[in-house]
Amino acid sequence: MKIFITKRIPQKGIDLLTAAGHEVAIHDSSTPLSPTDLIQAGQQADYILNGGMQKFDEEFFENCPNLKALSLMSVGHDNVDIPAATKYGIPVSNTPGVLSGATADVAFLLMLAVSRKAFFNHKQILQGQWKGFDPTAHLGIELNNKTLGIYGLGRIGFEFARKARAAYNMEIIYYNRGRNLEAERILGARYVNFDDLLTQSDVLSIHAALTSETSNRFNLDTFKRMKNSAILINTARGGLVQEDDLASALRLGELWGAGLDVTNPEPMAADNPLLNLENVCILPHIGSATVETRDNMALMAASNLLAAIKGEKMPQIINP
């Protein structure tokens, strides 16, 4: 079968496909394919493995009648019009679970870095601004026994909450589409409404998918309802946070700081005001970026495709 990979993925995933006798073509470039080139690739391939952030819209599925399945090497699938894929009979799969620990680690890293202003202090040193030890300068805030609010308590949110509870005995509250009884039982997590999540969280961490419902869910209005000492963490998708509003809220002192592993757009513009604010840590979407996790994601994405090729249901199928 002809398999097209939209961006180079770890070799283990490619090897799994070639060892099964399939012909693999890779778009080996840091520049994403244009919508036209993506359609052209989809017309020439039997299967696609998406290693990047390509968008698959209705026009794509409509114009690729021979495509048999699409496998995403990501857990997020906001870049795919799933109803359109379903309408055109294309199964789509993702890679849940294998990246939860690594992504939760980045949320943890950002929480700790913002609480102690680590990136800002580091920048000060680089700029020659460190004048020596000062008992009243560089003060951070502690995390012990504080309240961690999780917006979207799925696998990654659970993993982050588990680590935060173990390390700092943080009280876990969460807002979700439904109750997460496992988190309530294991972590003593408390289900709250959105307003309580905003007003009670010392650290509020976003782990929900980007949908029309969650887009720009965090904006000036929500920031104003949060504690002035609160930290906002986002390792999910940049589109959940209104970035201009976040910059205004930070300037107005409505929040203590923010840690973002995702932005909107990516990469963010070099003149984005968030880059010049004191207590903002921004990372280039590295949640799942460890050797082990990316290998596992590539293997899972390849296995999903192999299942589809055999005429089996993809183990991590997303379509309803």
- Provide the binding-site residues for ligand DGY, judged by CB under 6 A: 74-76, 99, 287-288
Number of alpha carbons in the 13 Å side-chain half-sphere of residue 317: 15
Structure-token pair, residue 114 = 């913002």
Catalytic site includes residue 22: no
Distance CA 190, CA 316 (A): 29
Catalytic site includes residue 23: no
Tell me the closest approach of the beta carbon of residue 258 to ligand DGY, in angstroms: 18
- Of 186 and 209, nearer to ligand DGY (C-beta) is 209
Tell me the closest approach of the beta carbon of residue 196 to ligand DGY, in angstroms: 28
- Of 95 and 147, nearer to ligand DGY (C-beta) is 95
Catalytic site includes residue 285: yes
Distance CA 28, CA 164 (A): 38
Question: Shortest Cβ contact with ligand DGY: which residue?
Answer: 76
* 163 and 106 Cβ atoms separated by less than 8 Å: no
Tell me the closest approach of the beta carbon of residue 78 to ligand DGY, in angstroms: 8
* 241 and 220 Cβ atoms separated by less than 8 Å: no
* 93 and 71 Cβ atoms separated by less than 8 Å: yes
Structure-token pair, residue 191 = 């289900």
- Of 198 and 236, nearer to ligand DGY (C-beta) is 236
Q: What is the largest CA-CA distance in the chain?
A: 68
Tell me the closest approach of the beta carbon of residue 264 to ligand DGY, in angstroms: 13
- Of 12 and 138, nearer to ligand DGY (C-beta) is 12
**In whole angstroms, how far apart are CA 105 and each of 27, 53, 198, 297?**
30, 22, 23, 17
Out of 22, 77, 285, 294, the active site residue is 285
Tell me the closest approach of the beta carbon of residue 28 to ligand DGY, in angstroms: 18
Number of alpha carbons in the 13 Å side-chain half-sphere of residue 208: 23
Out of 62, 142, 266, 292, the active site residue is 266
Tell me the closest approach of the beta carbon of residue 161 to ligand DGY, in angstroms: 19
- Of 176 and 288, nearer to ligand DGY (C-beta) is 288
Distance CA 212, CA 79 (A): 12
Which residues, 6+ apart, have CB-to-CB distance to 242 below 8 Å? Answer: 216, 218, 219, 220
What are 148's strand-pairing partners?
Answer: 172, 203
SS3 of residue 259 by DSSP = strand
Q: What are phi and psi of 250, to 5 degrees?
A: -70, -40
- Catalytic residue numbers read 237, 266, 285
